[in-house]
Structure 1
């Protein structure tokens, strides 16, 4: 049975005090209150609590961030950075909301039109892959 949280159900919870190392692929929505060292990829929504830390990239349908993310956030529908959030990385989403007192260092691509969003995010990811390969050449 999934937990209820505002406007969506949560299928997976990584609780406070938990540490996970390695990339995660999760079906459904996620609540992160612990630490993850690796990429988090889900087809659902993600809530990152105030004391949570993600050291890796986040891919989701939507994301609400209250903790620390050291990596890129790609969330097709929306990204919300709460006042307690710190993000060091790029954000790609159709809608982005950033509250006061957020620490954000990176680039932001926010385009509501779906076709333009998909084209822009694809170009961004291709350019990032080229830069990464060049850095290791």
Structure 2
């Protein structure tokens, strides 16, 4: 999907708007405001250049035009990071597109084949579960 494809956006959170709590959207979403909570959409998600999200983002695909996500992204189709975007968290997707100067600070799983994607995701979930149970001295 190109940014210029004909799309129908179901939900928009505008610049200067904010939500505290988890958000679940049935369809396509564009976020230009702030969310302090998890964002889940059944369709595609566009994160605008002024958006700030502190929580996990889950959707069919995620395009980050700009803004900051402090949390993990799960998008089975693709994740696209434009040059002014920042992700502080893990990314799980089949296809990752990143422009120069985009920031990713976390682990990334990007596997095109469905079986490879599922195995890599399962392995990573196991590593995270084991790491969270370890005792730190």
Whether the TM-score (by the shorter chain) exceeds 0.5 is: yes
Q: Which residue of 1 aligns with 2:92?
A: 92
Q: Which residue of 2 aligns with 1:14?
A: 13
Q: Which residue of 2 aligns with 1:67?
A: 67
Local SS of the residue matching 1:92: strand
1:1-137 matches, within 5 Å, as 6-65=5-64, 66-134=66-134
Could you list the structure 1 runs, at least 4 aligned residues long, displaced by more than 6 angstroms after superposition: none
Structure 1 gaps, min length 5 = none
Q: Deviations over 1:9-55 (max 9, x none)?
A: 21010111111011111110110000000111112100000000111
Aligned length: 132
Distance change >3 Å, CA 115–CA 6, structure 1 → 2: same
Report the CA distance between 1:134 and its aligned residue.
4.7
TM-score, length-scaled by structure 1: 0.88
Local SS of the residue matching 1:83: strand
Report the CA distance between 1:99 and its aligned residue.
0.3
Structure 2 gaps, min length 5 = none
Local SS of the residue matching 1:119: helix
TM-score, length-scaled by structure 2: 0.88
Local SS of the residue matching 2:16: coil
